[in-house]
Amino acid sequence: MLNQPKIIALRQSLETIIVGQSALLDRLVIGLLAGGHLLLEGLPGLAKTTAVKALASGVHARFQRIQFTPDLLPGDLTGTDIYNPQAGSFCFVEGPLFHEIILADEINRAPAKVQSALLEAMQEQQITVGGVTRPLPPLFMVLATQNPLEQAGTYPLPEAQLDRFLLHVELTYPSAEDELRILQRDRMGHAAGTESGIKVDVQTVLAARAEVRKIHLDSELERYIVTLVGATRDIAHWLPEQAGMIEVGASPRASLAIAHAACAHAYLQGREYVIPDDIHAIAADCLRHRIIPSFNARMEKVSRNSLLQALLDAVAVP
């Protein structure tokens, strides 16, 4: 695990920039290691954009921020063919998705047609325009921020697109102590920027991803992951009192997401093997956006988080 110290140092350097969001910083680095996309949801002012910029500053990779708005067009993301009158032919002008780290800011402020333009890029790591398919960089990673759907001017993301995200991270307000630290830093003229003190190159990240794939995941834990994901499709078996609360359970992609994220979590903790705590640490973030509560659950105001926590408690750990 030659690159493990460099990645851990990068994670520690992010703490000097972002105060009070340790779980968010862990998930950002897990996404980087697992090669997955992240959806960050929270109210304005919780450092979503700042955290993504901080991560991008710590990696020598091409970074692009895309501000999603209601008038955005699919070609604004993918690029388009432009006619060149001198040459008498069309030439392709790459869109911002051809960068390595993408910040899709306020992704749910754009309509579904624009959001769907990300589907091919996120799943197949390629973009097809004008019948020509072009590959995206090996490091390609989408970090999307989302405002709660209750806010004005937001659109729900399609289920197919949600399933492409490795993790759905919900941000909460910082503690009073952390907020006091933020205030004091600002008053002293040391407000956090977005420049990380540690820099790693793309090859280091790709090598670290290869190391993460070698993290040992015991067969009993593999079976536990599959059982946990299957429980979201048959909640009545595990929680008879919650029967009918989940309309649609998680897809097999959820099992893959938990396995990859758990290995990345173990790597970040300095271990070469996965333990149940790694699975528990990231399971909810891997499943939250992949289940659809039923009408009864919504009427009774039973949240996704409470259902997932109940399932985590009900499924026996090997």
CATH of residue 304: 1.10.8.80
Q: Distance between CA 55 and CA 59 in Å, rounded?
A: 7
Q: For residue 130, what pLDDT is reported?
A: 81
Q: Is the pLDDT of residue 229 over 70?
A: yes
**Residues 231 and 154 placed together within one structural domain of the fold:** no
Q: Which helix (H) or strand (E) holds 176?
A: helix 176-187
Q: 243-269 burial, b if ≥16 CB within 10 A, otherwise e?
A: eebbeebbbebbbbbbbbbbbbbbbbe
Domain boundary among 163, 181, 209: 209
In angstroms, what CA-CA distances link 204 with 214, 252, 259?
16, 30, 22
Q: For residue 151, what pLDDT is reported?
A: 60
Q: For residue 268, what pLDDT is reported?
A: 94
CATH of residue 49: 3.40.50.300
Q: Which helix (H) or strand (E) holds 300?
A: none
**Residues 114 and 149 placed together within one structural domain of the fold:** yes
Q: Is the pLDDT of residue 200 over 60?
A: yes
Q: For residue 306, what pLDDT is reported?
A: 94
**Residues 184 and 41 placed together within one structural domain of the fold:** yes
**Residues 291 and 310 placed together within one structural domain of the fold:** yes
Containing structural domain, residue 274: 215-314
Q: Is the pLDDT of residue 48 over 90?
A: no
- Longest CA span, the chain: 71
Contact predicate 29/167, CB 8 Å: no
**Residues 74 and 193 placed together within one structural domain of the fold:** yes
**Residues 199 and 221 placed together within one structural domain of the fold:** no
Q: Extract the tokens encoding 302.
A: 């039973």
**Residues 13 and 119 placed together within one structural domain of the fold:** yes
The arithmetic mean of pLDDT across residues 160-184, rounded, is 89
**Residues 184 and 298 placed together within one structural domain of the fold:** no
The model's confidence at residue 149, banded by pLDDT at 50, 70 and 90, is low
Q: Is the pLDDT of residue 282 over 60?
A: yes
Q: For residue 103, what pLDDT is reported?
A: 93
Work out how many domains the chain is built from and give that number.
2
pLDDT, tens digit, for every residue of 243-269?
999 999 999 999 999 999 999 999 999
- DSSP annotation of 317: P
**Residues 110 and 230 placed together within one structural domain of the fold:** no
Structure-model confidence comparison of residues 261 and 158, the more confident one: 261
Domain boundary among 209, 242, 258: 209
pLDDT, tens digit, for every residue of 102-131?
999 988 888 877 877 888 899 889 998 888
**Residues 176 and 228 placed together within one structural domain of the fold:** no
**Residues 193 and 239 placed together within one structural domain of the fold:** no
In angstroms, what CA-CA distances link 274 with 137, 167, 182, 264?
29, 18, 35, 9
Structure-model confidence comparison of residues 217 and 199, the more confident one: 217
Domain boundary among 194, 209, 224: 209
Q: For residue 148, what pLDDT is reported?
A: 73
- The phi, psi pair for 19, rounded to 5°, reads -105, 130
Which residues sit opposite 170 in a β-bridge? Answer: 41
**Residues 40 and 138 placed together within one structural domain of the fold:** yes
